Amino acid sequence: MKKLYCETNEAGSVAPRSSFESVTKLISEVTRVNYSKNPNKGKQNALTVDTPAGRIAISARQPKRALAALIRAGSKGVTALELSSWAYRLGAYVHTLRHDYGLTIETLREPHDGGWHGRYVLHTPCQIIGGAA
């Protein structure tokens, strides 16, 4: 059985509403209130890194996470398989770090049955100054 919820307008007349309409209205009100109270709305937490060429700030989410993973891995480097839970396009993130931020990242070919995969090694000395990855 469908429940009807009633709502009165300015004239005092009663207009029935379905439960779907009630829930939809409630969700839109809650969402609007929560977004308007969020002080960080639209702001990204940039990763700030110190390099020999100077300080860089990376605000794009996935390249930021890729750089943090490369820094943590050190000379061992990382592969897409090692970061497969989130780095679906590791090659693209590395390309962004190389071309947009001027970082030196080497691609090593590691052969396996059926072909090869790339292991990325960061050669630019980097130190994380601030931000979260």
**What does the pLDDT look like over 73-117, one tens digit per residue?**
999 999 999 999 999 999 999 999 999 999 999 999 999 899 999
Q: In a 10 Å sphere around its CB, with 0-12 CB exposed, 13-18 middle and 19+ buried, how is residue 62 labelled?
A: middle
Q: Where are the domains of the chain?
A: 4-36, 47-130
State residue 5's pLDDT score: 53
State residue 2's pLDDT score: 52
pTM above 0.75, yes or no: no
State residue 133's pLDDT score: 67
Per-residue pLDDT reduced to its tens digit, 15-51:
555 665 665 565 555 555 455 555 555 456 899 999 9
* Exposure on the CB side of residue 36, measured as CA atoms within 13 A: 6
Tokens of 68: 């943090």
